Amino acid sequence: MNPIEIPIQSPPQGSRISLDRRGDAVVISGISQGVPLESFSAEGLAVMEKVLRAKERFSSKSSGGDVGELLAQQAFDWSIEISDGRVTFSSGVLPDDCLFTLRDIRRISRSAEGGLVVELSHLKDEKFKTQILTGKLETEEMEWLHESLIQLFELDRDGVAKPQVQGDFNSPPTDNFKLIEQAGGTRVEIQYRPKTLHRILPLAIGALILSLVGFSLLGSGGGGEGLLADLVAMARDHPVWSKVVKYLVIAVLIFVTFRLAKSALGTLNIRVDKNSCEIKKGILGIGVPRTISRSQMTSIEQSTWKERETGAGEIRHSVQYWRLELHGDKSITLLTDETKPRDSDWLGQFLSDWFEVPFVKKSLSDKHR
């Protein structure tokens, strides 16, 4: 069920929790007392302690307590967004967002420190990963949040996920995928074919840009005008350098053309059976297949990062990208530079259930351009 259609009562009056409905998304956010100690790794905890000690020095206040007592004095802001089967957990005190799908959730419960914690099916150090969602809340706030998330996460009354059959992933493919079953369903071919509009737009825009760049670099009608002609004229006393400039420009144009063709006309075919996976990435179906056996697979990994452009100290633009990789004795990138997670969510879960290997999700540090 779409989360926007689930009837959720308003938060208790006077609480520091808010409930917002934004399009097809439901966002619950709030502030709780005390930053949970379990939110940090050993390395992250050491860094946080240094930050808190530095803040104490600047404020001329010293608690004299350990890092746990310091964290207990801090406000913990958090936000939980549920949209299209995906959950994004954010907090101002954590470096990265936590990303998972409703299918990843095993249970939701209260932590030893009095906050709310969700257990995920992601494996970490051979244990199921847990994610702290809040610090301490008032009793009425906690009860409301617990019950609301049980409904939004589609759990049973005890906050436990309904049973799922491993290897029996029946979610229909997204619009960009097509499944072709063979041999009674023991073999499946997965075809990745983005919509025609998604192919034509980058092709048309890229062709226009390449034409303008080529015209500027090479000049028009052989009249000797353009940047390349100017560079060649500057290097006319050095025949070798003039050829280097020409070949360099041609190489750049070829590389850009290839990347454009790959983006606009790229294809992905995956054939899976009980014992192996064959991946063929190419242009218009032309490519070299790569095969990895089931016994060599270790995990399916989905990663995401934000590509940012900065100017004058302010962020002008931010785009989030998604990548999906199959890991084993070798790593194979299946999807990259995706701007929407639905395709990688579906393909990653399908392959994870088919081969019964962990589906790992992580957020990378932002990249700046």
Q: What long-range pairs does 89-98 form, CB within 8 A, spacing at least 24?
A: 89/131, 89/133, 91/39, 93/35, 93/39, 93/48, 94/39, 95/44, 95/365, 96/363, 96/364, 96/365, 97/363, 98/131, 98/363
**Between 252 and 111, the higher pLDDT residue:** 111
Q: Say how far apart CA 296 and CA 27 lie, in whole Å.
A: 40
Helices (H), 235-307: 239-265
Q: Over the range 311-345, which residues count as b (16 or more CB within 10 Å of their CB) and which as e?
A: eeeeeeeeebbbbbbbbbeeebebbeebeebbbbb
Give me the mean pLDDT over the 311-334 stretch: 77
- What does the pLDDT look like over 47-70, one tens digit per residue? 777 777 776 676 666 556 677 777
pLDDT for residue 80 = 93
pLDDT for residue 140 = 92
pLDDT for residue 186 = 78
Least confident of 267-276, 313-322, 326-335: 313-322
pLDDT for residue 166 = 44
Q: Which of 86, 83, 123, 84 is nearest to 102 (CA)?
A: 86
> For the chain, what percent of residues have pLDDT higher than 70?
65
Residue 234, phi then psi, degrees to nearest 5: -65, -30
- pLDDT over 80 at 323, yes or no: yes
Max avg pLDDT among 87-91, 207-211, 222-226: 87-91
- What does the pLDDT look like over 280-289, one tens digit per residue? 887 766 777 8
> Which amino acid does the sequence have at 363?
S
- pLDDT over 50 at 314, yes or no: yes
Report the Cα–Cα distance between both ends of the chain, in Å, rounded: 39
**Confidence band for 223, pLDDT divided at 50, 70 and 90:** very low
Element (H, E) at 200: helix 196-218
pTM over 0.75: no
Helices 227-234 and 239-265 pack at an angle, to 10 degrees, of 150
- Who's near 251: CB < 8 A, 6+ residues apart? none
Helices 227-234 and 196-218 pack at an angle, to 10 degrees, of 40
pLDDT for residue 349 = 87
pLDDT for residue 53 = 72
**Confidence band for 369, pLDDT divided at 50, 70 and 90:** very low
Q: Residue 142's CB: how many other CB atoms inside 10 A? A: 18
**Average pLDDT over the chain, rounded to whole?**
76
- What does the pLDDT look like over 149-202, one tens digit per residue? 999 998 988 899 876 544 445 577 887 888 887 776 778 888 887 755 445 555
pLDDT for residue 28 = 94
Q: Are 339 and 319 in contact (CB under 8 A)?
A: yes
**Confidence band for 38, pLDDT divided at 50, 70 and 90:** low
pLDDT for residue 221 = 44
**Confidence band for 265, pLDDT divided at 50, 70 and 90:** low
